[in-house]
Structure 1
Amino acid sequence: MLDKFRQAKQKEIESLRKDFMEGRVPAVYQNGRPSFTEAIRAKGPGAVIAEFKPSSPSQGVIREHANPLDFADIYAANGAAAISVLTEHVYFGGHPDYLFMMKGPGLPLLRKDFIFDPLQVAMTASSPASAVLLIARMFASAAELKQLVDLARMPGLAPVVEIFDQADLDTARQAGADIIQVNNRDLDTLTTTLNQSRSFIRQKRDGELWISASGVSTRAQVEEMAALGFDAVLIGTSLMRADDPGRLLAELTGRL
Structure 2
Amino acid sequence: MTILDKIIEHKIKEVATRKEYLPISKLEQRPLFDIAPLSAKAWVTSPNRSGIIAEFKRKSPSKGLINGNVKVSDVTSAYVEAGASAISVLTDEEFFGGSVDDLLASRGVHRAPLLRKDFVVDEYQLIEAKSIGADLVLLIAACLEPKKLKELAMTAKNLGLEVLMEVHNEDELKGHLNEHLDLVGVNNRNLKTFEVSVETSKRLSSLIPNEFLKISESGISDPSTIRELKDFGFDGFLIGENFMKTEDPGKACKEFIEAI
- TM category (shorter chain) comes to over 0.9
Question: Within the alignment, does 1:179 sit opposite 2:183 as a pair?
Answer: yes
C-alpha distance in 1 between matches for 2:140 and 2:68:
27
Residue of structure 2 equivalent to 1:96: 100
245-254 vs 49-58, which deviates more?
245-254
Is 1:114 matched up with 2:119? yes
- Offset, 1:245: 2.3
What is the 5 A alignment of 1:160-199? 160-174=164-178, 176-199=180-203
RMSD (Å), alpha carbons: 2.0
Equivalent in 132, 135, 148 of residue 130 of structure 1: 135
| Aligned residue number for residue 226 of structure 2 | 222
If asked which structure has higher relative contact order (CA below 8 Å, sep 6+), I would say 1
In the alignment, the residues of structure 2 paired with residue 221 and residue 44 of structure 1 have an alpha-carbon distance, to the nearest angstrom, of 20
- Distance in 1, matches of 2:200 and 2:180, equals 22
- Count the aligned residue pairs: 254
Percent identity, aligned pairs only? Answer: 32
For 1:81, the equivalent position in structure 2 comes to: 85
Q: Distance in 1 between matches of 2:251 and 2:24?
A: 47
In the TM superposition, residue 19 of structure 1 has moved relative to its aligned partner by: 4.9
Residue 36 of structure 1 and its aligned partner are, at CA, apart by 1.1
Please give the TM-score of this superposition, normalised by the length of structure 1: 0.92
**1:26 aligned partner, one-letter code:** L
Equivalent residue number for residue 204 of structure 2 = 200
Farther off after superposition, 240-249 or 187-196 = 240-249
Q: Distance in 2 between matches of 1:123 and 1:221?
A: 35
CA distance in 1, matches of 2:224, 2:187: 19
How far 1:44 sits from its partner (Å)?
A: 8.6
What amino acid is aligned across from residue 64 of structure 1 in structure 2?
G
Q: Report the Cα offset of residue 175 of structure 1.
A: 6.1
Residue 45 to residue 26, structure 1, CA distance change in 2 (3 Å) = closer
Shift of 1:158: 0.7
Task: Single out whichever of 196-205 and 79-88 deviates more from structure 2.
Answer: 196-205
Query: What is the CA-CA distance between 1:176 and the residue it aligns to?
Result: 4.0
Unaligned runs of 5+ in 1: none
Which residue is equivalent to 1:3? 5
